[in-house]
A and B are shown apart, each in its own frame.
Chain A
Amino acid sequence: MSSFNPQELITRALIRLRQSGFQLGVSELLAARQALEGGFGETPEELAQTLKILWCHSPSQQSQFDPIWESLQVDSTSKQPEKTPHKKPKPETHQESMEKPPEISSSPPPQDAVTEVKSEPELSSLPIRAPFTPAKTEDTSALQAYYPMNRRSMSYIWRYLRRPVGDGPLNVLDVDATIEQATRQGFYLAPVYRRQERNNAHLLLLLDQNGSMNPFHRFTRDLVETALYESDLQPEKVDVFYFHNVPATSVYKDLYLTEPIALQTVLAACDDRTSILIVSDAGAARGYRELKRIRATTSFLFQLKRHTSLIAWLNPMPKERWIGSSAEIIANLVQMYQMDNNGLSNAIDIVRGQHLHSPF
């Protein structure tokens, strides 16, 4: 343990963890150093535990930490050449101490020990089978899978979709107005209340379901749930309808596509202030370029534009994959963004009527 250099190890651990996607900064490094000064990392094991408490913020991060920490320590021992001669005598001393008990027990153990020592300096062929490493059962899938955006940022970005109108209950105390009224009257009668502001924005969500959208159902579901329950939007002002590939004369009220409703009925409820957000891969997931699909989508979009110009399209496929597919052409007809934090916030800007550069 003489080579245990905690300062250096902490720094290298931080760099490695940052490479693995841990969000750590300089202040976390300083905190770890401070903890070290406070005696929370006397041995490598203690230090590992301390860093785990400090730097890992979920059980899955904790399980990611262990292999990284082990690899760091292996690196540090192999990097220092003066450490290896120290290591070699060690098995011998073990062997010497082992030699005494075998006199009482049977002979095989010393032989084993001898062959072990011999095999070390010898050059032998590499093992053909890969060493068995048991897989962790913890669920780290959420960290490693394709994760364009998380739920939290969705509900955060939804907040920008607002059209505040003071038509809520009369229950917000206006302190300034109360005091002003009292000074004007010369006496205080009652507090002045204002109406609560409510978000009057109307959102129409049109979601592509099934087929190539299957892998993204998780995100579309999150998108619907956050819009309905975790945003400032009033739930009755969020209309969600589903379609498959292209919205035809009817869309569906449920995500299993069993309750059809005529598109005309849906659009009749829209006025020029309705925000329409379409979520579909537009053929980019499979890379098809189908004239039929493009035509159908175009006529659908023209139909929409008769009602409102606040239309944006979210594509769960990254932008590089649009090229060559129908998505590339549809992106010329409507503001299309890939489904990540920036994309959604741009799309929200469009549907709330800001920075509107319509191609027409």
Chain B
Amino acid sequence: MLANQRLEFTGNSNPQLENPHQDSPTHPEPYVISPELKKAVNLAIYLRRPLLLEGDAGCGKTRLASAVAYELGLPLYRWDVRSTTKAQDGLYEYNAILRLHDVQTQNVVQQPPVAPGNAAETDKDEDEERVNRNPANSKHYRKFGALGKAFKLKSCPAVVLIDEIDKADLDFPNDLLTVLDEPWEFKIKETGETIRATYPRKDAKDNVIDCRPIVIITSNKEKGNLPAPFLRRCLYYYVDFPNDKKQLQEIIEKHYKIREKTPPPSALVENAIDRFLSVWNEGGLFKKPGTSEFLDWLKALHTFEPKPYNAAKLKKDESLPYRELLFKLQQDWKKYAKAS
């Protein structure tokens, strides 16, 4: 019975649920997934261990999370990590100064304080900006972060994307680890609450629901390795550039189909892929362009000028058109600038 209820990601960008969660992405995500990555995603969903994605920039690490969330109809909470981010920021923030401010202004204005009895009904729409805050209720001043929101869900799990984890402080992954493990809970010290992911729980129809978040983490390995205990807990997948003509073609097809735009003429697509892959495989590049750069480049070839770029000309051209889209380093840029 558990197996029937199991969430499974198939990668065919059709939503599985008819009424997805309100925080679920509204637009389908054109994402071509390899069988190995699909397996890694499903394993992460099944074991509820964080999935760590590494790979070059622009190969679709970040996109995967919204593809998963869209297909399964699950809410997606994105957490962009910055150099100053602390692990607690993803759980909640507490605005003590606002509470103090409210106490003072209420003394002046002499508002009748809200009876503490209806604290329970105000619990419902916590995520919205409050207008009627009551300083007597400390819960009015906490705001949940991406992980905090995911822990609070009662009916379905959420997909949490922790983007570029390596940007944060050294301790960040270790701090995160204590939350993403048994017993799946954290404490809010200002209110004394304990927020706990609901699992395993049975709903009215006796189905088991597992509301532990599905965590997808991306890393660029910019600042060296992540700590070993953290890696041990994660599932690992290295996202490679799709260095294959067929795969690239599939990506383009899916992209234009889902975005409902007319695809470029097939001759142009084919020659663009050939040209791009030959540049990519030739070597000697300091920073290789990724899939997203390729798609941008193709779009420029197709629609930047009133007429699409001549496919035959692209094949023969000495210089690469729109190379500013592909090369982001001076050396690479100069290398392909010979004939221009």
Question: Could you list which residues of chain A lie within 8 angstroms of chain B, going by C-beta atoms?
Answer: 23-25, 27-28, 31, 34-35, 38-40, 49-50, 53-54, 56-59, 62, 150-152, 155-156, 159, 173, 175, 178-179, 182, 187-188, 191, 230
Contacts and interface: CB of A to CB of B under 8 A. Distances in A.
A308 B88 CA distance: 41
A49 B43 CA distance: 11
B238 A151 contact: no
B285 to A, nearest CB: 18
Given A49-B39, A178-B97, A188-B101, A150 B224 contact: yes
Interface string B217-236: 00000011101100111111
B1 interface: no
A53 B224 contact: no
B104 A57 contact: no
B236 A56 contact: yes
Contact of A53 (B43, B103, B104, B233): B43
Contacts of A23: 228, 231-232
- 7 closest residue pairs by CB, A with B: A57-B231, A188-B104, A57-B236, A151-B224, A53-B40, A38-B46, A175-B96
Contacts of A54: 43, 235
A335 B6 CA distance: 60
B100 A178 contact: yes
Contact of A230 (B39, B42, B46, B223): B223
Contact of B47 (A31, A159, A179): A31
Contacts of A155: 170
Contacts of B238: 58-59, 62
Nearest to B41: A53
B173 to A, nearest CB: 11
A173 B43 CA distance: 44
Contacts of A57: 52, 231-232, 234, 236
Contacts of A188: 100-101, 103-104
A56 B233 CA distance: 11
Nearest to A46: B39
A53 B232 contact: no
B237 A53 contact: yes
Which one of B6, B43, B237 has the highest number of Cβ atoms from chain A below 10 Å of its Cβ? B43
Given A155-B170, A178-B97, A191-B97, A35 B39 contact: no
Which one of A25, A57, A179 has the highest number of Cβ atoms from chain B below 10 Å of its Cβ? A57
Given A57-B52, A173-B97, A188-B103, A35 B43 contact: yes
B121 interface: no
A62 B100 CA distance: 54
Given A54-B43, A178-B96, 20 more contacts: A23-B232, A24-B232, A27-B233, A34-B46, A34-B47, A39-B3, A49-B39, A53-B43, A53-B235, A57-B232, A58-B225, A150-B225, A152-B227, A155-B170, A178-B97, A182-B100, A187-B107, A188-B101, A188-B104, A230-B223
B36 interface: yes
B288 interface: no
25 contacts: A25-B232, A34-B46, A35-B43, A38-B6, A38-B46, A40-B39, A40-B42, A49-B36, A53-B237, A56-B236, A57-B231, A58-B54, A58-B236, A59-B238, A152-B224, A152-B225, A152-B227, A175-B96, A175-B97, A178-B96, A179-B96, A187-B107, A188-B101, A188-B104, A191-B97
A50 B36 CA distance: 9
Contacts of A31: 47, 49
A86 to B, nearest CB: 31
B222 to A, nearest CB: 11
Contacts of B107: 187
A73 to B, nearest CB: 20
A46 to B, nearest CB: 8
A27 B48 CA distance: 13
Nearest to A59: B238
A56 B234 CA distance: 10
Nearest to A39: B3
Contact of B46 (A40, A175, A187): A40
A57 B49 CA distance: 14
A149 to B, nearest CB: 12
Interface in B81-123: 96-97, 100-101, 103-104, 107
A40 B40 CA distance: 10
Nearest to A182: B100
A43 B185 CA distance: 36
Contacts of A182: 100, 104
Contacts of A53: 36, 39-40, 43, 235-237
B215 to A, nearest CB: 15
A3 B238 CA distance: 32
B186 to A, nearest CB: 20
A137 B170 CA distance: 31
Contacts of A35: 43, 46-47
Interface in B167-220: 170
A327 to B, nearest CB: 30
B43 A40 contact: yes
